[in-house]
Amino acid sequence: MARVTRKIGLSLGADICWPLCYEQILGKLALDIDFGGDRIGVECERVTIEPFDLRQPCRYDVVLDRLTHWYGPSREWIKKAILMDRLYVLNNPWSVQSMEKHTSYCAMMALGMPIPETWMVPPKAYEPSADLAPTLKRYAQLFDLGEVGGAIGYPLFMKPYDGGGWRDVSRIADEAALRKRYDESGKVVMHLQAAVDPFDSFVRCIGFGPQTHLVRYDPDAPLHDRYTRDKDFISDDEAQLLRDTTLTINAFFGWDFNSCEALRKNGVWYPIDFANPCPDSQVTSLHGHFPWLVIAKLRWSIYCAVTRKAFRRTLDWSPFYEVAAQDLPYREKLRAYAAIAEARFETTRFEEFCAQHLSHLDEVAWEFFGTADAKEAFRLKVTALYPKHEIEAFTELFWGRVQAWRSETAPKGA
C-alpha cells in the first residue's frame, strides 16, 4: 500500500477570507484516506503566476480557479494543464471564456425553462474599422426602439449581454427612459429583458458540484444584508425545483461552482441570472452562509482530488436536447435534466465518499469557525473593503452572524 499525496491548487485573485479558512480546515482534517489500495493525504497551495513551458508537468490534481473569467495567463495555463496533464479544474475554462448570459439564456430557453422575454439590440455606437461602414450600409436594418420595447412590455431591464456584477443594468419604466438609456449605452451590446413584475420571492441557489444551498436574496438591501438569514421561505417542492434548475445549468456548461437567481411570480419560478461561474465567496456578503460555502468547497475538491475524477473536456449537450425533444411536462423534463447532471457530478458516489472519509469535516469546520484564526480571516477581508472607522463594527457583525450559525449547527454535546 503506497502513501500518496494529492495536491489542490488555489488560483486566486482578490480572495482573502475563504482561502485562509479553507487552508486551515484542510490542515486540521489531517486526511489519511484508504482509497484504491493507497493511503492518500491531501495538501493545498496557492498557484503562482509565472512563465511556463507548455510541456512543463502540472503538480496539481485539482485547481479551484478564481481567475479564468478575466485573467488570460492563468486561463491559458489551466487549459494547457487540462489538455496535457489530466488536471481537474473548477470551472471549465473554455466554457467560462466563451459562454455569457446571452448563451445561457438561449440554451435554457431551448430546454424549456421559463426565461423572461429577451431581445438583443445592436449597439448605439461602434468602434471604427475599415469594414464597418459598408457592412452597416448594406445590412443594418433601421429599427424603432420604441416598438421593440412595446413588444417586450414595461417595466423591462436593459443589461449587457455578457454582463456581471450589476454592471450597466437599468430598470426601464417607459419608452422615454428606454430611449435615454440606449442613447447613453455607447458601444455596449445590450439585452432588453422583460421584468418579472411583481414578484413575491427572489432566491439565489448556490451550486458546488452536487451540493446546493438556497438563500432568499434582497437585491435592494446593502451588500452585507442581501443574502438574508430567512429560513423556511419556500416549500420542499420548490426547493427541489430550484435545485434541479441549478444542477441542470451547471452540468450543461461544465460549471462545478455557480449561482442561479430566480424570481417567483404567480407560483412560477423564472430563472433570470445564472451565468455566474465565479460567484461571490466572501464573508462580507455571505456572512452566516459563508461556512456552508467553505465546507462545500472542501468536500467537492477533496473528493475530486482523491478519486481523481475525470475532467469532462467536452460539454456534450446531446443528452439534454434528447430530453427536450420528448413530449413531457416541463417538471418531468427538468427532473430528467437534473438526473443527467447528478450522474455527471457522481452524486451517489460523492455522498458515499463523504460519509466514509469526511464524516468529521462538519465538526472540524464548526470548531474552526469559533477560533481567533477564523475571526482574523474575517477582519482581513473587512479591512480590504471598508474604511478604517468601520472595520471593527463590520468584523463583529460578520463574526456574530457566523457564531449564530454555529449555535444553530452545534454538534451534540458541544
- Both 55 and 125 in one domain: the answer is no
Residue 123 lies in a domain: yes
Instruction: State the cell numbers at 273.
Output: 441570472
Q: Is the pLDDT of residue 1 over 90?
A: no
What H or E segment, with its residue span, contains residue 22? Answer: helix 17-29
Q: How confident is the model at residue 167 (pLDDT cuts 50, 70, 90)?
A: confident
- Both 209 and 187 in one domain: the answer is no
CB 60 within 8 A of CB 268: no
- Residue 106: phi and psi, rounded to 5, are -60, -45
Residue 92 lies in a domain: yes
CB 190 within 8 A of CB 158: yes
Q: What is the pLDDT of residue 204?
A: 97
For cell 457522481, the residue is 346
Per DSSP, the three-state class of 358 is coil
Single-letter residue type at 208: F
Q: How confident is the model at residue 163 (pLDDT cuts 50, 70, 90)?
A: confident
Mean pLDDT across the chain, nearest whole number? Answer: 96
Q: What is the pLDDT of residue 227?
A: 97
User: Where does a domain end: 142, 159, 194?
Assistant: 194
- Both 78 and 225 in one domain: the answer is no
Mean pLDDT for 274-290 is 95
d(CA 358, CA 352) in angstroms, rounded, equals 10
Q: Is 232 left (phi over 0), alpha (psi -120 to 50) or beta?
A: left
Instruction: State the cell numbers at 300.
Output: 467537492
Mean pLDDT for 86-107 is 94
CB 340 within 8 A of CB 360: no
Q: Is the pLDDT of residue 165 over 80?
A: no
> Greater confidence, 166 or 276?
276
CB 162 within 8 A of CB 102: yes
What H or E segment, with its residue span, contains residue 77? Answer: helix 72-85
d(CA 8, CA 135) in angstroms, rounded, equals 49
- Both 107 and 160 in one domain: the answer is no
Q: How confident is the model at residue 331 (pLDDT cuts 50, 70, 90)?
A: very high
Residue 397 lies in a domain: no
Low-confidence winner among 26-35, 163-172, 354-363 (lowest mean pLDDT): 163-172
What H or E segment, with its residue span, contains residue 151? Answer: helix 145-152
> Do the strands 3-11 and 38-46 form a parallel or antiparallel pair, or are they unpaired?
parallel
For the chain, how far is it from start to end, CA to CA, in angstroms? 37
d(CA 160, CA 169) in angstroms, rounded, equals 7
Residue 405 lies in a domain: no
pLDDT (tens digit per residue) in 379-403: 999 999 999 999 999 999 999 999 9
CB 204 within 8 A of CB 259: yes
- Both 264 and 335 in one domain: the answer is yes
Report the number of distinct structural domains present in the chain.
3
Q: What ranges make up the beta strands (E) of 29-117? A: 33-35, 38-46, 62-65, 88-90
- Both 330 and 206 in one domain: the answer is yes
What's 131's domain CATH number? 3.30.1490.20
CB 240 within 8 A of CB 205: no
Q: What is the pLDDT of residue 348?
A: 98
d(CA 42, CA 148) in angstroms, rounded, equals 55
Residue 171 lies in a domain: yes
d(CA 387, CA 392) in angstroms, rounded, equals 10
Give the domain extent around 33.
Answer: 3-98
- Both 111 and 176 in one domain: the answer is no
- Both 335 and 261 in one domain: the answer is yes
Q: Is the pLDDT of residue 196 over 80?
A: yes
Instruction: Count the Cβ atoms, other than its own, within 10 Å of residue 264.
Output: 17
- Both 209 and 325 in one domain: the answer is yes
d(CA 228, CA 225) in angstroms, rounded, equals 6
Mean pLDDT for 121-130 is 94
Residue 288 lies in a domain: no
| Secondary-structure percent of the chain, ordered helix, strand, coil, rounded to 5 | 45, 20, 35
Q: What is the pLDDT of residue 166?
A: 74
In sequence order, the 6+-apart residues with CB closer than 8 A to the CB of 297 are: 18, 22, 64, 208, 257
- Both 155 and 204 in one domain: the answer is no
- Both 151 and 189 in one domain: the answer is yes
Single-letter residue type at 69: H
Residue 261 lies in a domain: yes
- Both 264 and 179 in one domain: the answer is no
What's 230's domain CATH number? 3.30.470
Instruction: State the cell numbers at 199.
Output: 414578484
Task: Please give the distance of CA 66 from its chain centroid, rounded to a whole number.
Answer: 11
Q: What is the pLDDT of residue 13?
A: 94
User: Where does a domain end: 165, 194, 223?
Assistant: 194
What's 53's domain CATH number? 3.40.50
In sequence order, the 6+-apart residues with CB closer than 8 A to the CB of 338 are: 243, 244, 247, 248
* Paired residues of 90 in beta bridges: 64
CB 161 within 8 A of CB 192: no
d(CA 361, CA 234) in angstroms, rounded, equals 28
Mean pLDDT for 320-333 is 98
Residue 408 lies in a domain: no
* Paired residues of 191 in beta bridges: 120, 159
d(CA 216, CA 202) in angstroms, rounded, equals 6
Distances 14 to 10, 227, 282, 301, 357 between C-alpha atoms, Å: 12, 21, 10, 20, 32
